[in-house]
A and B are shown apart, each in its own frame.
Chain A
Amino acid sequence: MSENSLYPGLNLGDKHGDAHVQAESTVFGFWVFLMSDLIIFGILFAGYASYLDPIGLAGGPGPKELFDINSVAIQTVLLLVGGVAYAGVSLTVKYGHGRGNLVAWLLVCAAFGAGFLFFEVRDFISQAGKGGTPQVSGWLSSYWTLGGLHGIHVFCGILWIFAMIGQVATRGIDDVVKVRLSMLGVFWHFLDLIWVGIFSFVFLVPLA
């Protein structure tokens, strides 16, 4: 990258004038929120790791009975592709490729996010069917809290995407929309980063 980054995420660049300058403080503020979110996730990870022993399982079903590795792999790919697809949104805004492209890329992101949620919810339902409900053991409580919180984040991200599609349709791609799309991008990529921790430490390590 040949230019200086003023804030996390793909920078709009000098060409965007006011939006680029305004994004510096706004996206930085949003980044502060995301770092506090990171602390919440980190503590939930620590709780999950602490409960991952026979006492924490309390005689309830464990990782080997409940986790479906194929479904986790599908979710991982869906979220990774959905995250990278946001590059299309960022680059469309930065280089002014028009509203149609922008909305199309946003819909691609939302579709992959929704696909991810579909498989995650399906897993939660089948796990509850196998007796793996949150109240059974400390380990299951921490698993549902961590996975559920991430799922709620993805759901909020999808709602946000549709809110932005509405704003792009009514306001056009003005400075405010550009800054909001920059924040959404950081949020969307951040969820992907958290999922890397979840599929590795929540699903793969206990199964190893």
Chain B
Amino acid sequence: MTKPNTGHINPQESAASEIKSYATGFVISLILTVGAFAALLSDLPNTWKVVVICTAALLQIVTHMRNFLHLSFSGNQSREDLLLVLFSASLLAIMAGGTWYIMSDLSGRMHQTGESGSSSHRALAAYSNNGKPQQVWLSNVPLSRN
């Protein structure tokens, strides 16, 4: 099922390296967390805030997987674990990414909020309206998202 365990290790040495690995993971996670919160409170443009927060989140997830869950991608991990993680990640990308894409596409086509619809959807909507002023649906809904 997996590669056999070979080589005898000195327990004290191994414990020290394991504590170091956890400590490294903790420090990196803390820095990335503080970075994400700092980005939110900073004066950066909104797009950059979102980019920084998302990048920090992805890096921290990788750190958690490496240092806390001890999933290694360098070959000394059992093959089944890696395949399971990669398979789950691809399923998730298809299902979650697909859900998000379809729903934002629908939102753009049906409600023309202008935010989630791409320019082609707006062009299509303008065409179908034959130049008449566009009727905005649910115009009583406040635009509380900035």
Contact = CB atoms under 8 A, between A and B. Distances in A.
Interface of A: 1-11, 13-15, 24, 28, 31-32, 35-36, 38-39, 42-43, 45-47, 49-50, 52-55, 57-59, 62-65, 69, 73, 76-77, 80, 83-84, 86-87, 91, 94-95, 186, 189-190, 192-193, 196-197, 199-201, 204-208
Interface in B78-124: 78, 80-81, 84-85, 87-88, 91-92, 95-97, 99-100, 103-104, 107, 111, 113, 115-116
Given A15-B11, A24-B2, A50-B104, A38 B37 contact: no
Interface residues of B, number: 71
A31 B65 CA distance: 13
A38 B92 contact: yes
B140 A59 contact: yes
Contacts of A3: 5, 7, 9, 14, 76
Contact of A54 (B33, B40, B76, B142): B142
A14 to B, nearest CB: 5
A91 to B, nearest CB: 6
B100 A46 contact: yes
A1 B72 contact: yes
Contacts of B33: 76-77, 80, 199
Contacts of A189: 64, 68-69
Which 10 A-B pairs rank lowest in CB-CB distance, beginning with the nearest? A50-B103, A200-B57, A208-B49, A46-B96, A46-B99, A35-B88, A87-B22, A62-B144, A42-B92, A189-B68
A13 to B, nearest CB: 8
A83 B116 CA distance: 37
A23 B107 CA distance: 47
Contacts of A196: 29, 57, 60-61, 64
A1 B70 contact: yes
Contacts of A52: 145
Interface in B111-139: 111, 113, 115-116, 138
Given A2-B9, A4-B2, A46-B99, 4 more contacts: A53-B104, A59-B141, A190-B69, A205-B53
A84 B25 contact: yes
Contacts of A42: 92, 95-96
Contacts of B91: 39
A208 B36 CA distance: 11
Contact of B19 (A5, A46, A87, A186): A87
Contacts of B96: 42-43, 45-46
Nearest to B104: A50
A196 B36 CA distance: 10
